[in-house]
A and B are shown apart, each in its own frame.
Chain A
Amino acid sequence: MSLALKLPRLRLKGGTSLWVGGGLVAIAISSAILAPWIALTDPVLDANLMNAELPPSWEFPFGTDAQGRDIYSRIVWGARVSLSVGIISQICNSLIGVTLGLTAGYWGGWWDDLVSGLTNLMLAIPSLVFALAIMAILGPGLVSLVIALGLTSWSYSCRIARAQVLSLKSQGYIQAARILGYGDLRIMFTQILPNILGPLIVIATLGMGGAILAEAALSFLGLGIRPPFPSWGSMLSEARDQITTAPWLSVFPGLAIFFTVLGLNLLGDGLRDYLDPQSTTRRG
């Protein structure tokens, strides 16, 4: 007997990855926004040592931590920190990296040498060390965390953008644009940028995951979010010691990061396909 379950075939413009990714990211963002209403308890104040390290149950769906705080509520509140750090800092990185890479690749010459040198310098210094130095100057807190992470890992998008521009520069339509009297900036932003957007979106979404994890590392070192307030990264690092005795302490924040990063990557992939006219229009 075969159980042929016939699902109606969904035809979604942009493919499934755009919708699955968009859905996951939407869930993460809405839980960050709706935290005060969907959290069961206060993430910081409702500590109760009588409930310490309880496994998941109906009362505490994701279990409780060493201070008896509800993990579910802390994850919902922690989304605010993790998402804003991940998304805003990565937007900063992309803006810096793409601007430098685009101009360096297009103009070449001394500007290219300068930008490439700077990029290599940034790649040589571990970005976490760089971020640490900036945090040490600015002091801990959410804003300085975003600034520190937003200024320190633009080198990847810069290199990708520069390499893409170099390969695109000799294309007929870039030459044609020059011959038709387009200015440099117009060529860069209307002709080149849309054509290199695909890989840049993928790099940016990958970087968001990296930024969420970097936030965890900085918080662990005491330079990020101050301890009682939750972020996914700091919850993970606090849970390290209890990973064998109370695995739910690390599993749920880990899953939250996993699904958010997965969602961002799928969204990036889907967006790239969606923005490419060759894949969305048919020869007619």
Chain B
Amino acid sequence: MTTPLLKVENLRIALAGDGVTYDAVENVSFEIGRGEAFGLVGESGCGKSITALSVMGLLRRPLSLAGGRIILDGKEIQNVSAAEMRRLRGKRIAMIFQEPMTALNPLSPVGRQIAEMFVLHEGANWNEAMDRAEDALRQVRVPSPERRIKDYPHQLSGGMRQRVMIAIALACGPDLLVADEPTTALDVTVQAEIIDLMAELCAAKGTAVLMISHDLGLVANMCQRVAVMYAGRIVESQVADAIFATPTHPYTQGLIDSLPRLGERARRGRQKLSEISGVVPSIANYPAGCRFNPRCPAVTDVCRTIVPEATPLPADGVVRCHHHG
């Protein structure tokens, strides 16, 4: 691999509580190549969304960047000025969110909201920007875009709004698109359309994707490589196909075992879907050692005291477990 587009090294994000500081994210490292789609999977509260926000330079109190480096295209961006960061956002790194219902300004026609990106980042004039907004809507396959550009967000359905969000995010041809649970709020059929659309447009424009989701299947579908996060740490990262074929960390294995599979009942009879017992520990009392140890079926004494180191797996994979390698 040549120099990666985005390189995150030993990222640490601190959460300031009442007189105590917790590490919400610890020792997170990953790389995304140009045009590559990378998935970050984990349960709610494991730190995947704030990892994305830190890449955008948008951590707000009580969260703060406590250590590590974020390198975009060979340039460290974790300490650049606010004005410079603002020029990067939207133009080189864009983001779409979970909630297409609230992510659009209700008082502004959608065409105007797309056009504003061209005006803001490329200094286009409004007439030209509106024409390009119409093209952008056509690219995300919104029917009759010449009429839709005058519509307000409340006149569009959820799927249409998410298409508009994608059009806005991809308007200036960013190098990296951060997608934070882009389809969670949508119907399953619409989900598939949106994911296909995103994958297709990003491939066409050479945009890399950092996809954040709790849906392992969705991520594996779209991404070439996947990292699994648990309680603020990356526990395993592998090529997408390999993570299904040979999940190495007990947490990943548990996740994959808990997915319902077509034809399973016919093959093995009626069975309960397996689950990972226990709950995610709260950030205030993360266990010592491996953070998965209270729920791990293969736990031993060493897991309760020593933090596992990263062990390499074939094809750039990494796992953090004492019982591997």
Name the B residues within 8 Å of A175 (CB-CB): 97, 103
Q: Check if A13 is an interface residue, CB within 8 A of chain B.
A: no
Question: Which A246-284 residues have a C-beta within 8 angstroms of B?
Answer: 275-278, 281, 283-284
CB pair A178 B58 closer than 8 Å? yes
In this complex, the interface size class of chain A, counting residues with CB under 8 Å from chain B, is: 20 to 34
CB pair B155 A281 closer than 8 Å? yes
Q: Check if A195 is an interface residue, CB within 8 A of chain B.
A: yes
Q: Check if A186 is an interface residue, CB within 8 A of chain B.
A: yes
CB-CB contacts of B95-115 with A at 8 A, as 1s and 0s? 101010111111110000000
A172 to B106, CA, bound (A): 11
A172 to B107, CA, bound (A): 14
Q: Check if B302 is an interface residue, CB within 8 A of chain A.
A: no
Question: Which A177-217 residues have a C-beta within 8 angstroms of B?
Answer: 177-183, 186, 190-191, 194-195
Name the A residues within 8 Å of B116 (CB-CB): 182, 190
**Min CB gap A177→B, angstroms:** 8
CB pair A172 B108 closer than 8 Å? no
CB pair A180 B97 closer than 8 Å? no
A121 to B89, CA, bound (A): 40
A172-B97, A277-B106, A281-B155 are known contacts. Are A179 and B58 too (CB-CB below 8 A)?
yes
Name the A residues within 8 Å of B89 (CB-CB): 178-181
Q: Check if B168 is an interface residue, CB within 8 A of chain A.
A: yes
CB-CB contacts of B80-95 with A at 8 A, as 1s and 0s? 0000001111110011
A168 to B101, CA, bound (A): 15
CB pair A173 B104 closer than 8 Å? yes
Q: Check if B130 is an interface residue, CB within 8 A of chain A.
A: no
Q: Check if A176 is an interface residue, CB within 8 A of chain B.
A: yes
CB pair B107 A277 closer than 8 Å? yes
CB pair A176 B155 closer than 8 Å? no
Q: Check if B30 is an interface residue, CB within 8 A of chain A.
A: no
Name the A residues within 8 Å of B117 (CB-CB): 180
Closest 8 CB pairs of A and B: A181-B90, A172-B102, A181-B89, A180-B90, A172-B103, A277-B152, A176-B103, A194-B107
A residues near B, CB below 8 A? Answer: 171-173, 175-183, 186, 190-191, 194-195, 275-278, 281, 283-284
B residues near A, CB below 8 A? Answer: 56, 58, 86-91, 94-95, 97, 99, 101-108, 116-117, 120-121, 151-152, 154-155, 165, 168-169
Q: List 10 A-B contacts (CB under 8 A).
A: A172-B101, A172-B104, A173-B102, A176-B97, A176-B103, A178-B89, A180-B89, A181-B86, A195-B106, A281-B152
